[in-house]
Amino acid sequence: MAKGEDLDGRPIKPITICMIGAGGFIGSHLCEKLMKETPHTVLALDVYDEDKISALDGYDDKIKHLLEPYTVEWKGRLQFHRINIKDGDSRFEELIKKADLTINLAATCTPAPAERNTRTRDTIYSNFMDAVPIVKCCSENKKRLIHFSTSDVYGETIGSYLPKDDPLREDTSFSVLKEDMSPCILGSIGNIRWAYACAQQLTERLIYAAFAGPENSLEYTIVRPFNWIGPRMDFIPGIDGSSNGVPRVLAYHLIREEPLKLVDGGESRRTFIYIDDAIEAILLMIENPERANGHIFNVGNPNNEVTVRQLAEMMAEVYAKVSGGEAIENPTVDVSSKEIYGKGYEDSHKGIPDTTIINRQLGWNPTTSLWDLLESTLTYQHRTYAEAVRNEQIEENKQKLRQRSERKDKKRQKKNKDKMTEFAAQKKVDKSNATKKNQANRSKGTGKKGENVAIEDDKY
């Protein structure tokens, strides 16, 4: 394929892309690729709510390097719009109408353990309800849509239901996930771990209904990502944006020289793909609509399959190399899923993406090894976050010392107060005893005098 031509040898025409959720990890890399290697224009949309601290804080900082300075060679081809679809802002519809293609990256993943009960409804709303007007607008205006779903829609694999000691459990035919054949097996309604997967699956079904309906008005492609890893995938308060929020960094515990927590021993198996390989796949979808339309694509690297424990051990080894430090002696610690996620947590044991369809349609294959993608990612994270995380540790230690000092002061104050209370109580008792003694003494003297007075009164 020559530069400037699609896979069928046709010249690639410049198009306008409306990218919803452009300020995040994937969006920042996709915008960068489009600006540097294509003539396309991007209308980049992302949320902005200065009064609300959420997982979206700081996301626009991930594309700041593409927006500033304004003298860059792609000036005018990347336009950033702060729009929150949740607010019913109709501007996003106008941007979709102006564009040739809409890419929907907006999503709220399964909430953190501490937020499961409070944010599950938000997860469903964000991944289904907020997607409905996007699908509707694209369908009604005959605009092409690339929707980012999740590999979570597959749910549990068939192999997960086999006994743990069953040799068939490791048979790849029970764990390879195929877009057009594998069932989507989710857990019970009461298990909120599956809320995100269910919402995304419902959005996929809505998109397919808009495509396969009587009017057949929607040209679509659905992307199912399998653990994309790379620079800018994380968030450190005060560096990536707001100073509020929860740190989310792949190497966070390694930077702090703390062991990585492995849920239920880290026995689950996963595949991981480098962001550059994945973005190359998306660019092929963008520039080859005839080959990509009407398809669901797994985008993952089946060659980078490891257990979570193996991943953690490799991360510790790689981070020691890129940081120039010593590897943590005990890089992992086992924790129960109940401790981290609560009672009834479920997860898929093993899920390997089948990439037959994307290879056949787009000729795409990932090339980056697990070691190389970890080395690139952890090098970036060490360079970007190590100093901030260590300063955070210093502040934490100072805070602990202050709290310890405050506890000692409070304990000392309480001890002094108790002594004073005890002293006051004893003083009160002593005073009471002295009063009683004086009263007793007076009673003896007064009694004799009283008798004399009484005798004298009788005289009258």
- Residue 375 belongs to domain with CATH number: 3.40.50.720
- State the burial class of residue 312 (Cβ atoms within 10 Å of its Cβ: 0-12, 13-18, 19+): buried
Domain contains 99:
yes
What's the domain count of the chain?
1
Q: Which of 59, 196, 345, 380 is catalytic?
A: 196
**Segment 347-398, tens digit of pLDDT:** 777 889 999 999 999 999 999 999 999 999 999 989 888 887 777 777 777 8
Domain contains 444:
no
Residue 214: per-residue pLDDT:
66
Q: What residues of the chain score a pLDDT lower than 70?
A: 1-2, 48-61, 69-71, 109-118, 213-216, 235-249, 342, 344, 444-460
What's the pTM?
Answer: 0.81
Catalytic status, residue 196: yes
Residue 54: per-residue pLDDT:
36
Domain contains 49:
yes
Distance CA 291, CA 295 (A): 8
- State the burial class of residue 306 (Cβ atoms within 10 Å of its Cβ: 0-12, 13-18, 19+): middle
Domain contains 208:
yes
Residue in this structure with the two tokens 């594998």, named with its chain if needed = 182
**Segment 405-458, tens digit of pLDDT:** 888 888 888 888 888 888 888 888 778 888 878 888 777 665 444 444 343 444
Residue 237: per-residue pLDDT:
58
Residue by residue, DSSP assigns 171-229 as -GGGTEE-TTT---B---TT-GGGHHHHHHHHHHHHHHHHHHSTT----EEEEEE--EE
33: domain range? 16-402
Residue 333: per-residue pLDDT:
87
Domain contains 260:
yes
Residue 236: per-residue pLDDT:
63
Residue 163: per-residue pLDDT:
81
Residue 398: per-residue pLDDT:
80
- CA angle in degrees (0–180, nearest 5) for 60-64-68: 145
Domain contains 432:
no
Residue 246: per-residue pLDDT:
52
Domain contains 59:
yes
The tokens for 187 are 């857990």
Residue 449: per-residue pLDDT:
46
Which one-letter amino acid corresponds to residue 361?
A: Q
Domain contains 219:
yes
The answer to whether 255 and 382 are in contact (CB under 8 A) is: yes
